[in-house]
């Protein structure tokens, strides 16, 4: 394998690692997100125990920290020249995703109330960023 092929293989592995880390963090958070979302949908957030609410907020914070770490690690990887543009857009979409996650956490107040407008907006921005992220993964895959 020549240097260009090695660089491409290393980059491909870094993309896979970013995806894997993201999926694992999401899996860890989903079992906490589902009850929170259900409580919000049913108007029963006040019935959620304070401990469950605080645990959920902490799990979300830990997950977002994992996203930040994954992006920081990904930024250190050498990018093949023909993928630089899409790599920049990929990192931008991932950064947007992280910011939307941060905004969701911010919408959750310590007094066990949630700014629903901010919460819903952050969910929509997470979905949009995820779509963009997936789009750039596909482009990178076809160019690689």
Higher per-residue pLDDT: 143 or 34: 34
Do the beta carbons of residue 53 and residue 107 sit within 8 Å?
no
Summarised one tens digit per residue, pLDDT across range 62-114 is 999 999 999 999 999 999 999 999 999 999 999 999 999 999 999 999 999 99
Q: What pLDDT was estimated at residue 56?
A: 96
CATH for the stretch 3-143? 1.20.120.30
The arithmetic mean of pLDDT across residues 9-19, rounded, is 94
Q: What pLDDT was estimated at residue 100?
A: 97
As separate numbers, helices (DSSP H) first and strands (DSSP E) second, the chain gives: 4, 0
**d(C-alpha 102, C-alpha 122), whole Å:** 8
**Domain definitions of the chain by residue range:** 3-143
Q: What pLDDT was estimated at residue 123?
A: 96
Q: What pLDDT was estimated at residue 144?
A: 72
Q: Which residue has the tokens 């899996």?
A: 27
Summarised one tens digit per residue, pLDDT across range 38-63 is 999 999 999 999 999 999 999 999 99
**d(C-alpha 87, C-alpha 81), whole Å:** 10
Stated pTM of the model: 0.92
């Amino acid at each position: 394998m020549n240097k260009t092929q090695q660089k491409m293989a290393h980059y491909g592995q870094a993309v896979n690692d970013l995806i894997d880390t993201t999926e694992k963090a999401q899996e860890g958070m989903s079992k906490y997100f589902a009850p929170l979302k259900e409580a919000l949908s049913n108007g029963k957030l006040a019935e959620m125990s304070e401990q469950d609410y605080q645990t959920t907020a902490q799990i979300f914070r830990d997950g977002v920290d994992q996203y930040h770490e994954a992006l920081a690690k990904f930024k250190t990887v050498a990018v093949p020249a023909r993928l630089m543009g899409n790599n920049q857009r990929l990192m931008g979409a991932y950064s947007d995703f992280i910011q939307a996650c941060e905004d969701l956490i911010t919408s959750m107040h310590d007094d066990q109330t949630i700014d629903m407008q901010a919460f819903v907006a952050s969910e929509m921005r997470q979905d949009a960023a995820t779509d963009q992220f997936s789009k750039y993964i596909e482009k990178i895959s076809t160019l690689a």
